[in-house]
Amino acid sequence: MAKGYYLVVGDETTCGGVITEGEPTHTIMGRAVAREQDRITCGKHPGTYIIVGHIPGDTILGRKFAGSLHSTSNCPCKARFIPSMMNDAYELIGSPTSGQSSIAPSFTETSESPPDVTPVFAKSCLREKGCTDAGTEGEPHRNFGKMGFYQTIPPSPTSPTDNNEVDQRAQTARRKPVETEPDVKTPWYKRVLGRTSAAPAAVVVPVSTGAGLAALEQAGIQGMRFVGGNLMTAGRWMVGSSPVGAAIMGMMPGTLNEGETDLLDKLKLENIAKNGGSAPTRVRFRWVDSGNGRLKAEGYHMSAEGGLDRVPVRKMTLNVFTGNYEFWEDGAAGPTILWTPNDPGFKAPSNTGNNDGPIIRTTITVLPMPEADETGEHSTTLPMPEEKDFRDYILIHPLLDLPPLYIYLSKNPDTPIWTKTKRLEPVSNAYEHWVKHGHEFSDQPFNNAKEYVESTHDFVNNPPEGTLTKTRPNGDELFYHPQLNTFAVKTKDGVPKTMFKPSDKMGYWNKQ
């Protein structure tokens, strides 16, 4: 009778990776219990992976426990786990060792027990109650909820640069009283989210009106304007550190139904956000180039087995100095998305005849993800997207009446693939770095310069757990992972400069 052990955050894999995510409400010796689909790292390959396989029977918030006998990593190594909690065991026959588990009830199952349902953020309305499976056929995005689209407003060409004028404008804005609405008995989102043509109603918020337009623009904050769809929220959305006109945001609200057990409610999502976790969903969207320089939205069905069904959940926080609610992406130098109940004064330019906005379709067809062996005409969504291709989040707003929002942002298409030198353009420079250093990565051989460049981008933009960082006086960011012995540099603008394996390892890092 084989004995297995429960896994917790911090347990290592046989390839040197580590479990980085668990359920914070269920712990063993203060460490969160790991579940199937929780995130892990790999000791040999950069990036984030998930736990596959589970102990049959017991669930926690709709997810099954991970165990040393049943679970493995989905990293290229297919590694197993090394348990550290040897006092919390279970037996392979289907019930935990008597008296040893402090977190699980019983594995005993009967034919009368209803099947386990994994609560998700969003599912298709074609799925009946008690079913949160992913779709297998193309279906319209409205089966998952309403959607709205926003685009950045270019900065005003006449923005004042004098600090005194900026401060005076900000002070004037702070003295402006908050507008209220006479009828506030009905939650405002029930009056607003259903509208398709009317302007959104004001929302009563007990905060200051925030900094003025000049102060916001001086800080690199741009306003966003509604450009299509049938979802428009109250307040004003803004974006930080974005190239002019490049940031596009799509959004979809979470369920407004009370007591829906198939869908994660706001309280559960808030608990996930507190721990920087992620939530399962049965649909994800991203922005892609339509082929003519304009962006279009694509949607995908997301199954639990595919490994891409989890979206980061983050809570917006109030900046008491500006009165704005902010969301910061991990590692960002400033806020990514901002929201204010007031109108900062951003003015959309008049129609110049340029057709550079996103392509807004009445219907976005959500397609199933292709199987790994699908090619050619048998695949509907090739090339198959990876986790790094998505830039989406579930945002929780502190205001009680605002439902959780799923947003997906465009990526900056202007980021060069590599730095250039006086002698070499970015492509040639990247090629020379691959020729010089590509062979050093015997644990992850690169077949060409493109694979080397993509791996470098992934390493500096999504550094694996345990990566050390430094910043040079010129703004260059340095990264070093001792276990992988991988060193890389990117500029302050996010452009990779190099990636290699130093011969003297930690000694090289200490000299930087």
Residue 100 lies in a domain: no
pLDDT of 379 higher than 50: no
Directed axis angle between helix 449-461 and helix 426-437, to 10°?
90
* CA pair distance 392, 394, nearest whole angstrom: 7
Residue 463 lies in a domain: yes
Query: What's 257's DSSP letter?
Result: -
Instruction: Name the pLDDT band for 285 (thresholds 50, 70, 90).
Output: very high
Residue 473 belongs to what domain range?
Answer: 426-511
* CA pair distance 281, 264, nearest whole angstrom: 9
Residue 378 lies in a domain: no
What does each C-alpha distance from 31 to 11, 71, 100, 256, 454 come to in angstroms?
10, 18, 17, 33, 34
Domain shared by 291 and 151, yes or no? yes
pLDDT mean over 232-256: 72
| Domain-ending residue, one of 91, 107, 129 | 91
| Domain-ending residue, one of 75, 91, 107 | 91
Instruction: Name the pLDDT band for 83 (thresholds 50, 70, 90).
Output: confident
pTM of the model: 0.54
Instruction: Name the pLDDT band for 106 (thresholds 50, 70, 90).
Output: very low
Asked if 114 contacts 262 with a C-beta cutoff of 8 angstroms, the reply is: no
Domain shared by 404 and 434, yes or no? no
Q: What are phi and psi of 428, to 5 degrees?
A: -65, -40
What is the SS3 assignment for 9-54?
Answer: CCCEECCCCEECCCEEEEEECCEEECECCCEEECCCCCCEEEEECC
Specify the residue for token string 């200051």: 208
Mean pLDDT across the chain, nearest whole number? Answer: 77
Domain shared by 147 and 219, yes or no? yes
- CA angle 415/360/133 to nearest 5° reads 90
Q: In CATH, what number is assigned to the domain containing residue 451?
A: 3.10.450.200
Domain shared by 243 and 285, yes or no? yes
